[in-house]
Amino acid sequence: MALTVYWQPGCTSCLRIKEFLSTHGVAFESVNVREDPAAMTQLAVLGARSVPVVVRGNDFVHGQDLAAVARFVGIDFEPARLEIPVLVARLLALLDSSARLSEQLPAESLAERLPGRERTHLDLAYHVPQVVVAFLDAALGGRLTYEHFQRKPPGHLRTGTDVAALARSVSQALAVWWGANQSRLPGTLDTYYGPQPLHAVLERTTWHVAQHARQLERLLELRGITPEPRLAPTLLADLPLPHDIWDAEVPLK
């Protein structure tokens, strides 16, 4: 039975799952939920409220977990993950890099929308620390929700510098959490796509932030601005990032 991937532009997990299936020679129908008004209704009937989702008939799997998708489509796949202390160190460094990239966004670009989305450049910069807030909320006994990723910057955050300050405060919160809890980490976290191992959620949080940092860097380059400093290759090495920075189905102009 044919596979369908429901996705939306700017979604890091959507891009990665489409690349993963294509790399393994798995054919699928691609449905951009931003362009198909009936798509989210079809997913709701199945019991899914977010993307990416891989569907076969009446069965589906969320696309955030490559191993789960591999099992669903019959691919032999065993992911190798960086150790938890390494991921935390990378995440702290990536938050700092994202803050510095956000500070360089020109004021005139902040309200510009990204292709295929209502998300602006300022929204993207704000989204980066929210990814980590979602992880911390779950790690502290709460839940990682899809709504975390839909948040818009409040009115008092109007500039890239404002968002950079927020990113640095979230970095401090992550460092405090790690210092207090590294010897007694929870085994699983509650997420909108089901209970997940902490290690897997931390890995996804880290590469999610890394992918958006790549996008912020690219936005600067498209305006003729040389990012200072550039993202260090060592920050990205061995993370399960998509190959592309932006989805080729909705290219960034």
Exposure string over 42-56, b if 16+ CB within 10 A, otherwise e: bbeeeebebbbbbbe
Residue 253: pLDDT over 60: no
**248 vs 161, higher pLDDT:** 161
Backbone φ and ψ of 80, nearest 5°: -100, 125
- What number of residues does the chain have? 253
Could you list the beta-strand ranges (E) of 119-195.
143-144, 188-191
pTM check: above 0.85: yes
Which DSSP symbol is given to 148?
G
| pLDDT value for 252 | 66
| pLDDT value for 83 | 98
The CA-atom distances, in angstroms, between 114 and each of 11, 109, 129, 135 are 11, 11, 18, 25
Q: Give 9-68 pLDDT, tens digit per residue.
A: 989 999 999 999 999 999 999 999 989 989 999 999 989 888 999 999 999 999 988 888
CA distance linking residue 133 with residue 205, whole number of Å: 10
> Hey, what domains does the chain have and what are their CATH numbers?
3-73 (3.40.30.10), 84-236 (1.20.120.450)
